Structure 1
Amino acid sequence: MKTDRLIGIITTIQQKGTVTAPYLAEKFGVSRRTINRDIEDICKAGIPLLTKQGAGGGISIMEGFSLDAAVLTRQELSAVLTGLRSLDSVSKAPASDLLAAKLGADTDIPRDMEIDLASFYKNDLAEKIETIRRAVKETRRIVFHYYYAKGEADKLVEPYRVVFRWGDWYVFGFCPAREDFRLYKLRRLWNLNVTDEFFTPREVPPEKEPNRSRTESMTDDYIVTAVYEPAVKYRLVEEYGPASFITREDGKLYTEWGFSTPEDALRWLLSFGVDVQVTAPPEMVKKMRSAIKKMKKRYKT
């Protein structure tokens, strides 16, 4: 705790230029005598602090002595705290305020960016992330029940890290049953537990690393041609970017995209309702017609 306080004192003086002992005592919740001893210890460590009595006086760093490499600027500190606050949104033990106190950061450090990584399911997400991180640290396998396109199944996985990608949280690990590295979305993962089974971490092949772009991580062998209404342009831009379609003379949006499977394409296209018309391949046109007929029967009165 004393080391943390000393770092905080140095950072505070560096940021403010001159501070008083009463100010530091109140800020760090200790007596003025303790602050005086801290100042002596800092000086003994080779950082020259000057104390000036009277009005306008206080404690400062000797002119010409630079601590640029040892402390953070306000802009750097703001960036660090922004990152930590974002992690606080998915953590059961928030750390940003504690670190801010250690670094001597004031409440006036600007909050010019707010990042909420939890969305609307913070409680479940924080619990899962904490459990997975513990399993990674202890190199223990985890088990969970997983829901995916083909159904659901119980999984046994060797966890390597928690990953935030493409707007969602995943656990990246090795699946012994599949003998391969996989990403599992935490929102589809339930009944998570850490087992008593230890594992030896394997070397991750570069092509299996989860830090590749979404387009690099997905196959696009199934090509579908479709025309969208202008009203859904925002969705196309959000998913694939403004260069992913051609605007026709009638204002409609022409696309020729690749999907991993016909099933993935069908789910995506059906989500647009009447705002999309599939033109190729013929197989996908038939699948769309069949799905629409089934929906009509379901809602037939």
Structure 2
Amino acid sequence: MKLERMLAIINILTEKGKVTAPELAQMLEVSKRTINRDIDSLCLAGVPLVTMQGYNGGIYLMEGYTFDKRIMKEDELSDIVAGLKGVASIQKDQTGHKLLQKRLSGATDFLSIDLASHYVDSLSSKTEILKIATSTHHRVTFDYYSPKGKTKRTVNPYCMLYRWSYWYLLGWCTASEAFRFFKLNRLWELKLTETEFEPLKITDDNLQMGTHMVDNQPFEVMFSKSVEYQIIESYGPKSYECTNEGLHFKGQYANMSYIISWILSFGKDAKVICPDKLARAVEEQRG
């Protein structure tokens, strides 16, 4: 039912332009709080909604993002539904999937998105806490695990993003006094605090991940032919040459710790050719 309601919200905004949350609540016969949660989910699914407070305020679709006034095109509907179902895959409320699929009569069969993982239960709990924290502007605390070890973080949360096959939290870290991305599966013991914060404006630069990391360190590895599919999955078919000895791979890296871990994951099927520094580091890790 939730997915159908969010589709109804999109149709109403397309038809009427700007609508207030109380008006949407009355039209759909739900509470204003439910509408606010639906709006959050739509934004998380990638629907560009704008909310304005005060006199003449309301909710509307970003300029330039419109549908046919009478009915959405099938490809547009499929994209929206796929996004909504993807978001629903990490939420505790899983109702409405079968009903929505039946009603669309196969319109979304081509693309199915599942954003959950083996830690879906903890992910759902984290999502619920972060949704409250971001909407009410309350700080959160959590234990964070990184190559430097376990640290206690206090963060002003802004939004969740799904990139590079992982969920991330974008937040203002009080220790570093800067925006930081935190991988959710490294984030544990998440707690909502009573401390409120004044939100800062998020720029496009703040939303860019990894722009400070440039792949400019060349390296070469000889891989066994048995792991060819894994090389293609990570770097593509043009990243290596087939030789009598195996797959001669040439690439570049930015983070040495990451690339060592990646090479070690192949076990005896990978041998570093150069640089010598990387080869020694890999051998030391192997013991």
Distance of 2:133 and 2:200 partners within structure 1: 15
Q: After TM superposition, list the pairs within 5 Å mapping 1:237-252 onto structure 2.
A: 237-248=232-243, 250-252=245-247
Kindly indicate whether the alpha-carbon contact (under 8 Å) linking 1:226 and 1:254 is maintained by their aligned counterparts in 2: yes
For 2:249, the aligned partner's letter is: Y
Equivalent residue of 1:283, what SS?
Answer: helix
Q: Does residue 106 of the first structure (1) align with residue 78 of the second (2)?
A: no
Cα deviations by residue, 1:239-294 (Å, 9 ceiling, x for unpaired): 22223333446542321322313x323222111111111122222222223233x3
Instruction: Indicate the residue corresponding to 1:209 in structure 2.
Output: 207
Q: After TM superposition, list the pairs within 5 Å mapping 1:240-279 onto structure 2.
A: 240-248=235-243, 250-261=245-256, 263-279=257-273
For 1:84, the aligned partner's letter is: L
Distance of 2:270 and 2:121 partners within structure 1: 37
Instruction: Indicate the residue corresponding to 1:173 in structure 2.
Output: 171
**What's the TM-score once normalised by structure 2's chain length?**
0.68
- Listed as ranges, the gaps of 5+ residues in structure 2 are 12-66
Size of the aligned set, in residue pairs, is 226
Change (3 A) 1:202 1:246: farther
Equivalent residue of 1:72, what SS?
Answer: coil
For 1:85, the aligned partner's letter is: K
Residue 217 of structure 1 and its aligned partner are, at CA, apart by 5.5
For 1:243, the aligned partner's letter is: K
Cα deviations by residue, 1:10-52 (Å, 9 ceiling, x for unpaired): x9xxxxxxxxxxxxxxxxxxxxxxxxxxxxxxxxxxxxxxxxx
Distance of 1:154 and 1:192 partners within structure 2: 10
Equivalent residue of 1:203, what SS?
Answer: coil
Aligned partner of 2:181 among 180, 183, 202: 183
Instruction: Indicate the residue corresponding to 2:128 in structure 1.
Output: 130
Which structure has the greater CA radius of gyration? 1
For 1:193, the aligned partner's letter is: K
Distance of 1:244 and 1:197 partners within structure 2: 50
Distance of 1:245 and 1:236 partners within structure 2: 8
Change (3 A) 1:243 1:202: farther
Distance of 2:129 and 2:251 partners within structure 1: 42
Instruction: Give the fraction of aligned pairs with identical amino acids, expressed as a percent.
Output: 30
Residue 109 of structure 1 and its aligned partner are, at CA, apart by 4.0
Instruction: Indicate the residue corresponding to 2:143 in structure 1.
Output: 145
Distance of 1:244 and 1:203 partners within structure 2: 40
For 1:136, the aligned partner's letter is: T
Instruction: Indicate the residue corresponding to 2:222 in structure 1.
Output: 227
For 1:265, the aligned partner's letter is: I
Distance of 1:280 and 1:146 partners within structure 2: 33
Instruction: Indicate the residue corresponding to 1:82 in structure 2.
Output: 82
Q: After TM superposition, list the pairs within 5 Å mapping 1:1-150 onto structure 2.
A: 68-94=68-94, 100=100, 106=103, 108-112=105-109, 113-150=111-148
Aligned partner of 1:281 among 255, 275, 278: 275
Residue 76 of structure 1 and its aligned partner are, at CA, apart by 3.6
Residue 232 of structure 1 and its aligned partner are, at CA, apart by 1.6
Distance of 1:98 and 1:134 partners within structure 2: 28
Change (3 A) 1:70 1:257: same
Kindly indicate whether the alpha-carbon contact (under 8 Å) linking 2:222 and 2:246 is maintained by their aligned counterparts in 1: no
- Listed as ranges, the gaps of 5+ residues in structure 1 are 12-66, 295-301
Moved more, 265-274 or 165-174: 265-274
Residue 154 of structure 1 and its aligned partner are, at CA, apart by 0.8
Q: CA RMSD in A?
A: 3.1
For 1:89, the aligned partner's letter is: S
Instruction: Indicate the residue corresponding to 2:198 in structure 1.
Output: 200
Equivalent residue of 1:194, what SS?
Answer: strand
Equivalent residue of 1:116, what SS?
Answer: coil
Instruction: Indicate the residue corresponding to 1:297 in structure 2.
Output: none
Cα deviations by residue, 1:44-98 (Å, 9 ceiling, x for unpaired): xxxxxxxxxxxxxxxxxxxxxxx94132244443433222222111112347559
**What's the TM-score once normalised by structure 1's chain length?**
0.65
Residue 156 of structure 1 and its aligned partner are, at CA, apart by 0.6
Cα deviations by residue, 1:139-185 (Å, 9 ceiling, x for unpaired): 11111111111211111111110010111111111112112211111
